[in-house]
């Protein structure tokens, strides 16, 4: 039986769900305290929130601000259209799959309407909302610093996207204006929980679709045959946290990129390309060739194109695994629009031994 995915976003109705009453009829509505507790607790677990409500946008947002709740909701959809359409818009904007979304409403009709269009979505009557805190799908395996910052990082993404829409220069000039600082380092013990989260949550920018346990990543980190890289990013808007990883198998004459993952939040900033070029340049200095594994999934075509644009070609294919090869010619220079801090040591030597706690 297929394991159901962890919930990444809860979409809430407003009237008689977040607050008691309807704002069109009662100007003295007050939020349910158990719902506020639920929203805040899930936010601390890194679960995002949004709104799908049939209301006047300005009125509903005024009440959310009055109750100091507006800051918790990303891309609120408040209008008179179908809630299934609203949720579809939220899914596209946050860039998640429908089977990681929960919808909470007091009206059976609304729940049925969403369920009929999106059967993968977990639909919950509002009377049962407080019970989700004990539901395993709402309890992440790990809660890291990046987890707790997830909402604020999405809010920074919204500001960044709005500024990009208004920017009149070239795409590269906009990237230059971000003043990006990228850190690439060998993973340390306190990185591993976040890297597990990246392998389990990231589908679109994952070169194989593989997931690894904490214990497996710990073993790779300590192995003389592997290098586990972690990528951090910040820019003028703030930190994006640890947004990528690469797992390399190191040989004396060639390296294999076993896995490369980038958070979907940094899709438009070219960090995946930068990491690949960084690896190629490191290998060139060690006089090694570079190969990469790629497994096609329903969502990772962009990662395949990233490899191809970097100069990789298909060497062989065994069942569903492609082996790509780089001929180590015309390796691109790292871009000038990002400052790259290299915290790695010599790749040809054993990685620093880590003290790993369970």
Q: For residue range 73-124, what is the model confidence (pLDDT) as tens digits?
A: 999 999 999 999 999 999 999 989 999 999 999 999 999 999 999 999 999 9
| Residue-wise burial string across 24-54, b where 16 or more C-beta atoms lie within 10 A, e elsewhere | eeeeebebbeebbebbeebbebbbbbbbbbb
Torsion of CA 339, 343, 348, 351, to 10 degrees: -150
- The top-level CATH class assigned to 9-138 is alpha beta
Q: Hey, CA dihedral for 140, 141, 142, 146, is it positive or negative?
A: negative
Shortest CA distance to 220 belongs to which of 269, 168, 256?
Answer: 256
The Cα 198–Cα 139 span in angstroms is 16
Q: What are phi and psi of 73, to 5 degrees?
A: -110, 120
- The structure tokens listed for 99 are 């089977």
More confident residue, 300 or 355: 300
The Cα 264–Cα 274 span in angstroms is 15
> Would you say residue 351 has pLDDT above 60?
no
- The structure tokens listed for 356 are 């790993």
The Cα 162–Cα 203 span in angstroms is 25
* 267 within 8 A of 277, measured Cβ to Cβ: no
Delimit the CATH 3.40.630.30 region(s) of the chain: 145-342
* 307 within 8 A of 294, measured Cβ to Cβ: yes
pLDDT-derived band at 355 (thresholds 50, 70, 90) equals very low
pLDDT-derived band at 265 (thresholds 50, 70, 90) equals confident
Distance of CA 328 to the CA centre of its chain: 31
In the three-class reduction of DSSP (H, G, I as helix; E, B as strand; rest coil), residue 283 is classed as helix
Delimit the CATH 3.40.50.1000 region(s) of the chain: 9-138
> Would you say residue 153 has pLDDT above 60?
yes
Q: For residue range 21-68, what is the model confidence (pLDDT) as tens digits?
A: 999 998 889 999 999 999 999 999 999 999 999 999 999 999 999 999
The architecture CATH gives domain 145-342: 3-Layer(aba) Sandwich (3.40)
In the three-class reduction of DSSP (H, G, I as helix; E, B as strand; rest coil), residue 204 is classed as coil
DSSP per residue, 30-89: EE-HHHHHHHHHHHHTT-EEEEEEES-HHHHHHHHHHTT-GGGBSS-EEESS-HHHHHHH
Round the average pLDDT of the chain to a whole number and report it. 92
- The structure tokens listed for 168 are 């009149």
Position of tokens 């001929």? 327
> Would you say residue 259 has pLDDT above 80?
yes
Helix (H) or strand (E) holding 226: strand 226-235
Q: For residue range 154-180, what is the model confidence (pLDDT) as tens digits?
A: 999 999 999 999 999 999 999 999 999
pLDDT-derived band at 352 (thresholds 50, 70, 90) equals very low
Q: Mean pLDDT over residues 330-340, rounded?
A: 92
């Amino acid at each position: 039986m297929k394991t159901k995915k962890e919930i990444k976003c809860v979409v809430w109705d407003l009237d008689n769900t977040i607050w008691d009453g309807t704002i069109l009829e009662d100007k003295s509505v007050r939020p349910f305290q158990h719902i506020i507790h639920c929203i805040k607790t899930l936010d601390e677990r890194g679960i995002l929130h949004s709104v799908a409500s049939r209301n006047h946008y300005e009125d509903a947002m005024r009440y959310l601000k009055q109750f100091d709740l507006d800051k918790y909701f990303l891309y609120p959809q408040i209008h008179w259209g179908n809630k299934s359409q609203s949720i579809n818009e939220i899914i596209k904007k946050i860039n998640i799959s429908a089977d990681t979304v929960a919808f909470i409403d007091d009206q059976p009709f609304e729940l049925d309407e969403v369920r009929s269009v999106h059967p993968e979505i977990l639909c919950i009557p509002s009377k049962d909302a407080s019970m989700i805190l004990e539901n395993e799908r709402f309890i992440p395996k790990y809660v890291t610093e990046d987890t707790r910052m997830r909402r604020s990082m999405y809010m920074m993404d919204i500001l960044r996207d709005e500024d990009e829409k208004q920017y009149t220069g070239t795409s590269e000039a906009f990237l230059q204006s971000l003043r990006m600082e990228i850190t690439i380092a060998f993973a340390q013990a306190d990185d591993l929980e976040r890297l597990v989260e990246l392998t389990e949550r990231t589908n679109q920018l994952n070169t194989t679709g593989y997931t690894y346990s904490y214990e497996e990543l710990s073993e790779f980190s300590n192995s003389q045959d592997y290098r586990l890289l972690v990528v951090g990013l910040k820019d003028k808007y703030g930190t994006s946290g640890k947004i990528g990883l690469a797992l390399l198998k190191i040989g004396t004459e060639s390296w294999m990129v076993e896995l490369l993952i980038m958070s979907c939040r940094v899709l438009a900033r070219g960090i995946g390309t930068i990491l690949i070029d960084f690896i190629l340049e490191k290998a060139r200095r060690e006089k090694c060739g570079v190969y990469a594994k790629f497994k096609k999934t329903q969502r990772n075509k962009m990662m395949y194109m990233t490899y191809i644009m970097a100069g990789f070609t298909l060497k062989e294919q065994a069942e569903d695994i492609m082996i790509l090869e780089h001929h180590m010619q015309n390796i691109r220079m790292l871009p000038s629009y990002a400052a790259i801090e290299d915290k790695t040591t010599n790749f040809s030597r054993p990685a620093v031994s880590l003290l790993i706690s369970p």
